[in-house]
Copies of this chain bind each other. A is one copy, B any other.
Amino acid sequence: MQQLKERIEKEGKVLPGNIIKVDGFLNHRVDTKLMQDIADEFARHFDLRQVNLILTAEASGIALAAICAHRWGKPMVFAKKAKSDNIEGGLYQSDIFSYTYKKKVTLLVSKEWIRPGDHVLIIDDFLANGEAIRGLCDIVASAGAALVGVGCAVEKGFQGGGDRLRAAGVNLQSLAIIESAEPGNIVFRD
């Protein structure tokens, strides 16, 4: 998606440790018009008539997923993150490793809000190692729901998480895949 790549080139900041900050329009300050344009781009990649539920994970995926779901006239569910093993019942859960927090995090979705027969599109702002998406895919499978696909705005291609999901058969569409990032030189996958 050309508009998104241009925003990353113009406003993204490359920090030590392969961190790419896009917090001026995607995941701290949110450019809501850009989120709408991203929603419209996803709509060209997925057959939304098949989809009845949008799923994301807290926190930074929520803004994009909410605007997508609203634009498409669908409900949205966000998985909660628990940082303890003391989890109440009635929940689907998946343990993931958070590279942000450097520890195990449990993603949780109430069994009330995802059901067998749901057709789920996962939406997230960012994909690096792909742990959050893997956890969300686990939860969709645990619920006996169908995964239609996964839409990510920005993928760090060089960390391999996206390619592992594709190799596992997930219909993953990322709108900007970063192959390498150095200050002043961000290279996208064609």
Interface residue ranges, A against B (CB under 8 Å)? 23-24, 28-33, 35-36, 58-60, 62-67, 69-70, 73-78, 80, 109-110, 112-113
Contact with A32, one of B30, B36, B63, B75 (Cβ below 8 angstroms): B75
Tell me the minimal C-beta distance from A33 to chain B in angstroms.
7
Count of chain copies: 2
| A23 cross-chain contacts in B, Cβ below 8 A | 110, 113
Complex CA gap A62/B56 in Å reads: 12
Q: Which residue of B lies closest to A35 (CB)?
A: B70
Complex CA gap A63/B32 in Å reads: 12
Contact (Cβ within 8 A) A74 B110? no
Contact (Cβ within 8 A) B32 A70? yes
| A32 cross-chain contacts in B, Cβ below 8 A | 66, 69-70, 73-76
Complex CA gap A73/B65 in Å reads: 17
Complex CA gap A24/B110 in Å reads: 10
Complex CA gap A4/B24 in Å reads: 33
Contact with A33, one of B30, B73, B78 (Cβ below 8 angstroms): B73
| A67 cross-chain contacts in B, Cβ below 8 A | 66-67, 70
Max count, chain B CB within 10 A of own CB: residue among A24, A30, A60: A30
Q: Which residue of B lies closest to A72 (CB)?
A: B32
Q: Known: A23-B110, A62-B63. Is A28-B78 also a contact (CB below 8 A)? A: yes
| A73 cross-chain contacts in B, Cβ below 8 A | 32-33
28 A-B interface contacts by CB (under 8 A): A23-B110, A24-B113, A28-B77, A29-B75, A29-B76, A30-B66, A30-B76, A30-B77, A30-B78, A31-B75, A32-B69, A32-B73, A32-B74, A33-B73, A35-B66, A35-B70, A59-B62, A59-B78, A59-B80, A62-B63, A62-B66, A63-B63, A63-B66, A63-B76, A63-B78, A64-B66, A66-B67, A70-B70
Tell me the minimal C-beta distance from A15 to chain B in angstroms.
11
